[in-house]
Every structure is written in structure tokens, then in C-alpha cells.
Amino acid sequence: MAETLAREAAQVGLLYILVHLVSIVCAWWALLSVRFDVFLRNPKGAQAKMLQVMLAVIIGYQFAQFVLGYADWSSSIKGLFQ
């Protein structure tokens, strides 16, 4: 029983990590189309790249939280219609 719960918790944890990583990669890919040269003085510098990484992590994390929350809410709602 305890082993089954531990295995389920590990699977859920792995799913959460994968969803977050995929979301961060998608956010990075989407941010590649933004023209940072319009907003930044040195768009090729290290600070600009760090800003892109930070934005990708922030946006990706928020999107992953939305997706995981939506999946959780959806699974909770199905009990309403039984």
C-alpha cells in the first residue's frame, strides 16, 4: 500500500517536472520571435540573454501551473455529473 502511494507520488512529481520543462522550452521558443533590440540597449549581451531566460522561466512556469490546475479542476468536475 505504502509502496503504491510512493510510486504514484513519484509519477505525479515526474509529470509535473516534465510539464514545467516543456512549458519553459515553449516559452523560450515563443520569446525568440520578440525583437528585444527595440527595447534593450545591448540585445546581444549577457544581461539580455539572462532576461530572456528569466522571462522564459516565469512565463513557462505560469503556463504550466495553469495547465496542471486546469487538469486538476477538470478531474474534479467529472464527479459532479455522476
Number of domains in the chain: 1
How many whole angstroms separate alpha carbon 30 and alpha carbon 60?
A: 10
How many whole angstroms separate alpha carbon 63 and alpha carbon 19?
A: 9
How many whole angstroms separate alpha carbon 2 and alpha carbon 5?
A: 5
Helix (H) or strand (E) holding 4: helix 2-31
Q: Which domain holds residue 17?
A: 2-81
- Report pTM: 0.85
Condensed to tens digits (0 to 9), the pLDDT of residues 22-44 reads 999 999 999 999 998 898 999 88
Longest dimension (CA), the chain: 59
How many whole angstroms separate alpha carbon 53 and alpha carbon 65?
A: 18
Condensed to tens digits (0 to 9), the pLDDT of residues 41-59 reads 998 899 999 999 999 999 9
